[in-house]
Amino acid sequence: MSAEALALPDLAPPARHAEVAGGFGRRVHGVPDGGWDAPAPVEGWTARDVVRHLVTWFPGFLEGGTGLRLPTGPSVDDDPVAAWVAQQDAVQALLDDPASEQRVLVNPHLGEVPLPTAVDRFYTSDVFLHTWDLARATGQDETLDAAMCRVMLEGMEPMDELLRSSGQYGPRVDVPAEASVQHRLLGFIGRRP
């Protein structure tokens, strides 16, 4: 079966990253002139800060857990598009490298996690969620893959207290019970869809 025929949650980590990062990249390339300073849904952030978050936290997480260092791209302040492209390409090359299957990320809070699984679970999912933030900030298509939203929401809901206590998510925003799965996921992570 081809990757195109599989639902996003059913893809292997390299293919899922390609799809998710590609979707984020389309929003990065679609930011209108002057749009990088637009306020983002995360309090105190701009559209530029959404990209900054993704290109700054992950390299340190990866290096700390594996010793691997991603190539450094341009500064987000100088060129957020080029900064994102460099990060997207570097992470994809890492996942596409057959040696990645044999690598393990070690973290004091997570234990030992196969590298592709760690990238998928922590980074690709973060890119997926922040796609909405960048789209909302810059007036672009806010649609997220419904199947992926459902899988993420089902996986996160049982860990509600743990996720809130991590400080990574704001207070849950109530949405109507009949709201779309995307809106329920966004409300869960503290966004106002």
All domains of the chain, ordered by start, with CATH?
A: 9-142 (1.20.120.450), 144-193 (no CATH)
Q: Any idea what the Cα angle at residue 174 is, between residues 188 and 160, rounded to 5°?
A: 35
In a structure prediction context, what are the per-residue pLDDT tens digits for the chain, which is 193 residues long? 444 578 999 999 999 999 999 999 999 999 999 999 999 999 999 999 999 999 999 999 999 999 999 999 999 999 999 999 999 999 999 999 999 999 999 988 888 999 999 999 999 999 999 999 999 999 999 999 999 999 999 998 888 777 777 667 778 899 998 999 999 999 999 899 8
The pLDDT of residue 110 is 80
pLDDT in tens, 134-175: 999 999 999 999 999 999 999 988 887 777 776 677 788 999
The pLDDT of residue 4 is 54
The pLDDT of residue 170 is 77
Residue of 151, 161, 83 lying closest to 121 (CA atoms) = 151
Residue of 29, 28, 44 lying closest to 130 (CA atoms) = 28
Tokens describing residue 31: 């930011």
Q: Per DSSP, what are the bridge partners of residue 189?
A: none
Tell me the H-state helices in the chain: 13-29, 47-66, 80-96, 115-118, 125-138, 146-156, 160-165, 181-188
The pLDDT of residue 135 is 98
Alpha carbon distance 30, 7 (integer Å) = 25
Alpha carbon distance 69, 63 (integer Å) = 5
CB 104 within 8 A of CB 112: yes
Q: Cβ neighbours of residue 59 under 8 Å, at least 6 residues apart?
A: 69, 70, 72, 87
SS3 of 73, please? coil
Alpha carbon distance 173, 53 (integer Å) = 22
CB 27 within 8 A of CB 135: yes
